[in-house]
Amino acid sequence: MYRLLIVDDEIDVAEYFRRIFEVKANLPLEVYTSYNATQALECLNRTRIDIILSDIKMPKINGLQMYEEIKKRWPKCKVIFLSGVLEFDYVYESIQNRDVRYLTKLEPTSKIISTVREVIEEIEQNYKEIDEMKKVQKQIREALPLLQNNYIESLLYGICDSYSEVEKRFKELEIPIEVNKTIIMVGGIFDDLPTDISLSQLDKNIYSLKTISDKYFSKYYNNVHYISEQKYSIWLLQQKDISLPIKNQQVKLNGLLEYIQGTIRKNLNITITFVYETSQIALNDIPRCYSNIKRRLGYRSRKLNESIITLAEYDKKESTSSYNENIEKCSKELNRINELEGYLELGQQDNFFLLLAKMTDRVVYIDDFYNTNALEIYYRISCVLLKYINEWKMNDDLESLINLSKLTNVHEHDSWHEAIEYLKNLSQLIFDSHFKNEYIWSDNAIAIVQKYILENLNKDLSLIILAEQVNLNPSYLSRLFKSHTQNNLYDYILDMRMLKAKDMLLKTGEKIQDIAIAVGYESAPSFTRVFRKYTGKTPTVYRG
């Protein structure tokens, strides 16, 4: 949406154009109105405006004087000047700037609308300027290693899309791995680094490792390098020459790792240990392999620095043979616990329950109520819920609806099925309570705005002024008011002003000029035009 500010000292003219652009123009616009240049500049102080449609001849500050101030505040703002008279000096001065257009008020409405449409297209085109796009591309290029690292992390932890989606993301992130071919995973960690090593020095070491490893790997493997928060490294390697026998492949890889170790030792004066599985793996086996390698990196022998440790087939079987299949699938989804927390915080109810089901749907089939893996799943989810309840101080509201003590004591439930149902029910109560509070807050905000309007019908009731009463963005207030009342905010203000005007006309003997001022119009003629259009009668006739 773009913001259009209409400026005209004739209120009925300003309101006419406002209605045109809100109702008939069918353009992506939020429309604001000001009845003189001073009001317009105040509006510009409060919010960014994209397009100004303004009378060029106004009292005190004319359109061109206002234009100079506009450029100081919002240099990219486009201006369309309107006037009922064609004066050469105004026209000549205004058309010297490419951001300014000039039209007369005698132009057909369609011409004025098309001019605003052209300006919108011009603004959109400016967003696509080549220089700006080059800057964006440069920034993306600079961010690419971080984006690659984040996506590889999601694969390592089993947060994996379909093969086609992974292939698409690899292409976008320029990761040179083919998803339908096997890979070799290698882990590496520096040995015995000083405890007081600075973060900058550690980053330099890791960057050097990345550069050195790429130098040796790139000749024989397509590869991507992942760096964990704990500063150990993982490489995904995909062999370029698939004709090389498996035994020769292992010899080649060992040799390359030894070269890397030697280069690191000579240039950085530190040593590094590597761990890898001897067999190649498919994409869906990455989380299992990563878990094995990470564990071995952490529990390697500290007496044997600069080692190359291989994990044979029996190592994999040992780590998975006793692992319950149901729990394995749930634990894989548990890596997305931060994602679950994010859905809760953002109120994305459908996504939350979809992921919660993936994390828990197989736990209900476990008979052992003391299964440690199932306990981990329950308590990690319960911690997410407990954190949210504490942050939003929801204890009192929820305690009357559900027994919260069960959240931190799984054995108060009779079965895993009951425990999981409890987590789902509590989650639903949290969402219900939160959305209920949001509805109450929205109703209160609308009530405050309506009260302000009724008490200030004689004052400026622009959208910006009203939004300030409830500390909301003007466009958000406009949408909120419409969704709650089924009525346009401007129409509501007009209804209230006309209601008060009719009441004063029938019950008081005040002059029409005074009634006009009392309901927010600066002159009797402006009030009369609006009143006649609203009721079909002039104020005098209506009064009888």
pLDDT in tens, 125-141: 877 666 677 777 788 88
Residue owning tokens 């006419």: 16
How large is the average pLDDT for residues 517-526? 90
CATH 1.10.10.60 residue window(s) in the chain: 456-543
Per DSSP, what are the bridge partners of residue 277?
311
Which residue from 147, 155, 111, 120 is spatially nearest to 3, judged by alpha carbons?
120
Between 131 and 80, name the one with better pLDDT: 80
Cα angle, residue 162 at apex, residues 159 and 165 outer, rounded to 5°: 100
Strands of the sheet containing 2-7, edge to edge, are 29-34, 2-7, 51-55, 78-83, 100-104
pLDDT value for 266: 95
Between 437 and 324, name the one with better pLDDT: 437
Neighbours of 407 (CB within 10 A): 21
Which residue from 76, 67, 9 is spatially nearest to 48, judged by alpha carbons?
76
**Distance separating alpha carbons of residues 62 and 222, to the nearest angstrom:** 67
Q: Which helix (H) or strand (E) holds 25?
A: none
Q: Which two tokens stand for residue 196?
A: 């007081």
Which residue from 61, 103, 47, 97 is spatially nearest to 80, judged by alpha carbons?
103
Q: Count of residues for the chain?
A: 544
CATH 3.40.50.2300 residue window(s) in the chain: 2-128
Q: What is the 3-state secondary structure (H, E, C) of 413-424?
A: CCCHHHHHHHHH
**Distance separating alpha carbons of residues 194 and 509, to the nearest angstrom:** 91
pLDDT value for 320: 44
**Distance separating alpha carbons of residues 67 and 61, to the nearest angstrom:** 10
**Distance separating alpha carbons of residues 400 and 50, to the nearest angstrom:** 51
Pairing of strands 78-83, 221-227: unpaired
Residues 6+ apart with CB under 8 A from 493: 453, 457, 461
The three-state secondary structure class of 223 is strand
**Distance separating alpha carbons of residues 219 and 395, to the nearest angstrom:** 60
One-letter identity of residue 231: K
How large is the average pLDDT for residues 4-17? 89
CATH code reported for the domain at 143-322 = 3.30.70.270
Distances (CA, A) of 133 to 129, 141, 441: 6, 12, 41
CATH code reported for the domain at 2-128 = 3.40.50.2300
pTM, 2 dp: 0.58
**Distance separating alpha carbons of residues 226 and 234, to the nearest angstrom:** 5
* CB of 430 closer than 8 Å to CB of 389: yes
**Distance separating alpha carbons of residues 405 and 422, to the nearest angstrom:** 11
* CB of 54 closer than 8 Å to CB of 87: no
**Per-residue model confidence as pLDDT tens digits over 443-499:** 889 999 999 999 999 998 988 889 899 888 888 888 889 888 988 898 999 999 999
**Per-residue model confidence as pLDDT tens digits over 291-341:** 889 988 887 766 788 999 988 743 544 444 444 566 666 667 777 888 899
CATH 3.30.70.270 residue window(s) in the chain: 143-322
pLDDT value for 315: 53
How large is the average pLDDT for residues 179-204? 91
* CB of 186 closer than 8 Å to CB of 275: yes
Cα angle, residue 232 at apex, residues 227 and 235 outer, rounded to 5°: 60
* CB of 452 closer than 8 Å to CB of 469: yes
Per DSSP, what are the bridge partners of residue 252?
none
Architecture of domain 456-543: Orthogonal Bundle (1.10)
Calculate helix-pair angle for 37-46, 63-73, nearest 10 degrees: 10
